[in-house]
Amino acid sequence: MLTRLVPFGMLGLLALSACSDDSPPVTQLLEQCIVTGTGGFFLTRGFYTDSFPGSRLAQVQIYFTADGAGDYTIGLTVRRDAYNGPVLGTSQTTVTMGSDVSQFFLGTFDFPHISVPRGGIVTLDFEELAGPGGTPFTQGENVATCSFERTSDKTPPLSVDHNSNPRIAVYGTP
């Protein structure tokens, strides 16, 4: 947003604002899958939606746990159409976790408002990049209102759907 101060008589300065094409798109919650159980999925499992609810992806938030305490660096690759489809974007985060697998910790992956086909297939591929030697998991269970599904692995195109969902929040532009 551009802001310019201009003289405005005896009232002093008036701030005029105008949006430019360089303004970032509006970000809002596109989908949230609320999971309260203590189930978890290995990072060898993948997630996908066959109806992405927006046109741009800004952030993915997902909950993790591990069977060993410490800092885990986790990467996320977002692809179009399949687990081996074109890469739309990548991000990584470091999550500090305890060793109690019933406690979950938020991981946030930021993206520069990457273009995503609205209503298209989008896959999420998480991988551990560094850690203290434990096994990280994502939190999940069956949630009927969530469009993000867990698959048995990341075999292209979309592996086998297991009718389970991650605890996830996806932000972007509708």
Question: In this predicted model, what pLDDT tens digit does every residue of 32-82 receive, in sequence order?
Answer: 988 777 777 888 888 999 999 999 999 999 999 899 999 999 999 999 999
- pLDDT band per the 50, 70, 90 thresholds, residue 24: low
How many CA atoms lie less than 13 Å away from 115 in the CB half-sphere?
2
Best CA proximity match to 138, nearest among 64, 75, 74, 71: 64
pLDDT band at 1 (very low <50, low <70, confident <90, very high): very low
Place of tokens 């800092």: 71
d(CA 130, CA 70): 10
Name the average pLDDT for the chain: 83
**From CA 59, how far away is CA 27, in angstroms rounded?**
9
Residue 141: Cβ within 10 Å count: 18
Contact 103, 65 (CB under 8 A): yes
For the chain, first and last CA: distance in Å? 20
Average pLDDT value for residue range 142-158: 83
E strands, 67-162, in order: 70-80, 87-97, 105-115, 122-130, 136-141, 149-151
Structural domain boundaries of the chain? 25-173
φ/ψ region of 129 (left if φ > 0, alpha if ψ in -120 to 50, else beta) reads: alpha
Q: What is the pTM of this model?
A: 0.81
Q: How many CB atoms lie within 10 A of CB 104?
A: 22
Q: What residue has token string 């532009």?
A: 173
Query: Architecture of domain 25-173 in CATH?
Result: Sandwich (2.60)
| Mean pLDDT of all residues in 114-131 | 94
Q: Are 108 and 34 in contact (CB under 8 A)?
A: no
- Which helix H or strand E contains 165, and what residues bound it? strand 165-166
